[in-house]
């Protein structure tokens, strides 16, 4: 018997994942706006987020939480990090016991510094929690380009079944038991992508971008391991793979924020023009709080934090990084 999936969120990545799952199993997508639901059900499109994509006809959308949750075998959360808990609380009255909940979000809750799977455990105790993450640009996947991702859960039996649910065509899914590492990689790379974008906006060149990515990966790995992740995770799709895609693609929202900052625009001006969330901007304070909590030095992330908070400029940030003394490559900083 096929699993039935409920997916919360009608943004670009949530819609893309629902379209992928629809090829393997019945899926119902929940979105807040009635016009989004009507467009998906009637025209099989979501032009605001995926302007060139045609969605599977068997994919159903609804604004009714109960319809999207009740009777489902797996719940997928395509909700931005700062709204994640609120939507989970809406899910709670309708979800059956022990149903797995998978996060697509790459952020940290500001009030608690919690990862999304920690929020799942907090709001829905007893429900196996996992994360789907990796170098996944929604528009490329919908256009049919090959891509790879990771689903991470502690339960090896459940994760193998969910691997089949998400795998489709040229979208290749790997499994991992390191939930902390996979989730941390997805969160932390957003900050480094803003730094890479700032360098591009300043016209810093390919060598600078390579340096930011490489030293950024070192920062991500240090904090991720301190949080409980495994070092090898950060050399894989959830670490290096996601970092490269996010730091180099013009489709990356976080790199775009950095690029526009590098061109001299204010953070508020940039955010006001975006209708999709750049998680790195939202998560920067929480990432710095985690770095302080675990005593991890993150000079690139700290400079980005100061810029997005309005306390510094991209030019000052890069000058600050150049003033940092360089020791052995294995050293912090």
Q: Residues 198, 110, 181, CA angle at the centre, nearest 5°?
A: 75
Q: SS3 string of 91-105?
A: HCCCCCCCCCEEECC
Question: So which residues are the catalytic ones?
Answer: 189
DSSP letter at 300? Answer: H
Angle at 134 between CA 52 and CA 151, to 5 degrees: 110
CA distance 86 to 79: 10
Q: How far apart are CA 50 and CA 53, in angstroms?
A: 6
Alpha helices for 30-155 (secondary structure H): 34-43, 65-69, 81-91, 116-123, 138-142
Report angle CA 200, 201, 205 to the nearest 5 degrees. 30
Write out the H or E segment, with its range, that includes residue 77: strand 74-77
Q: Are the beta carbons of 33 and 11 closer than 8 angstroms?
A: no
Q: What is the C-alpha separation between 151 and 173, in angstroms, rounded?
A: 7
Cα gap 281→195, rounded to integer Å? 11
Distance between CA atoms of 90 and 71, rounded to whole angstroms?
15
Residue found under tokens 């061109």: 263
Rounded to whole angstroms, the Cα distance separating 167 from 10 reads: 20
Question: Which candidate, 14, 28, 100, places its Cα nearest to that of 58?
Answer: 28
Q: Tell me the C-alpha distance between 315 and 307, whole Å.
A: 10
């Amino acid at each position: 018997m096929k699993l039935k999936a409920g997916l919360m969120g009608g943004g670009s990545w949530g819609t893309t994942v629902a379209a992928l799952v629809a090829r393997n199993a019945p899926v119902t997508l929940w979105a807040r706006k009635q016009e989004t639901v009507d467009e998906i059900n009637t025209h099989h499109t979501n032009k605001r987020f995926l302007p060139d994509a045609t969605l599977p006809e068997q994919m159903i959308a609804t604004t009714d939480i109960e319809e999207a949750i009740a009777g489902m075998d797996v719940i997928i959360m395509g909700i931005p990090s700062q709204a994640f808990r609120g939507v989970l609380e809406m899910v709670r009255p309708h979800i059956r016991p022990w149903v797995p909940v998978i996060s697509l979000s790459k952020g940290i809750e500001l009030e608690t510094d919690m990862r999304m799977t920690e929020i799942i455990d907090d709001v829905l105790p007893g429900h196996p929690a996992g994360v789907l993450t990796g170098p996944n640009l929604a528009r490329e996947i919908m256009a049919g380009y090959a891509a790879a991702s990771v689903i991470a859960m502690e339960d090896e039996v459940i994760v193998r079944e969910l691997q089949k649910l998400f795998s489709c065509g040229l979208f290749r899914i790997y499994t991992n038991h390191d939930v902390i590492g996979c989730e941390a990689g997805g969160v932390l790379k957003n900050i480094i992508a803003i730094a890479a974008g700032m360098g591009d906006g300043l016209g810093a060149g390919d060598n600078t971008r390579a340096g930011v990515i490489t030293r950024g990966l070192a920062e991500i790995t240090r904090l991720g391991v301190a949080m409980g992740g495994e070092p090898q995770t950060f050399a894989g799709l959830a670490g290096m793979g996601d970092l490269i895609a996010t730091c180099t693609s013009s489709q990356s929202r976080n790199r775009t924020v950095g690029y526009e900052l590098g061109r001299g625009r204010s953070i508020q001006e940039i955010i006001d023009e975006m209708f999709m969330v750049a998680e790195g901007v939202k998560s920067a304070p929480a990432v710095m709080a985690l770095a302080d909590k675990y005593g991890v030095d993150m000079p690139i992330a700290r400079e980005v934090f100061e810029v997005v908070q309005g306390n510094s400029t991209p030019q000052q940030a890069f000058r600050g990084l150049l003033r940092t003394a360089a020791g052995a490559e294995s050293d912090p900083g």
